[in-house]
Amino acid sequence: MSFQTIIDNASTVGIDRRKATSSVVTRSGHLKTAERLPSVYMFTVSIPDSLTYSTNRGLVEELDRLDRTIEEEINIGSTNTGLTYITSYQGVLTNSQVGQVTVTSATGGNIVLNTTSVSGSPSGTMFKKGDYIQLDNNYRYPYTVTADVTYSGTSVTVPINRGFLDQTGYTVSGKGIKVGKDITWRVKALTNPTYSIIPHDRISFNGDFQLVEVVT
């Protein structure tokens, strides 16, 4: 893992998932806006001169191999638990209960979940605004929840931050979900900075890494 190593050792991680929009002011003074779908995640990652070259020669080799053409799967908070606070799940379900939730459907700005198999009769807020949600390990795209969602023992509709993205050959109905630190992104490098070796035995990158989510 190379991009993952950069994130796990970052001094700052910038996340940009704003919608791609354009605007124009008409002659009459009215502001008109348009949105281009889908919105994608972009990460700007700064890394200090802290990695030792002698133990990370494989890392720089992998960064050169990936360059800006090959994608890698990344997470925030799973491989480095010190970052878990960024993506942590805020709802009332335990890990076991999350594993008992299945997807009924997903379309537009909502994911509909089947909760009839969830044990233990949980109550309260199933998702808080800003929580991360994704379908199972074979699905590429994560989402954030845009409003608090109260748990129901039958069906729950979760509003998401962008229109649900279809994936070729993937069937939504019946799949499980991932939440919090377990969600992942598939990214490529938009900017992959060069590096220098500085005394003593440290790697110094000449700029920030910019990673962009790959939407196929």
Helix (H, G, I), strand (E, B) or coil at 90: coil
pLDDT at 111: 98
Average pLDDT over residues 37-62: 94
Does the 83-182 domain belong in CATH 2.40.30.290? yes
**Residue 117 confidence (pLDDT) above 80:** yes
Q: Whole-prediction pTM value?
A: 0.90
Q: Which residue has the higher pLDDT, 125 or 35?
A: 125
Domain boundaries, the chain: 3-75+184-213, 83-182
C-alpha 20, offset from chain centre = 17
**Residue 30 confidence (pLDDT) above 60:** no
Phi, psi (deg, nearest 5) at residue 96? -65, -40
Mean pLDDT of the chain: 93
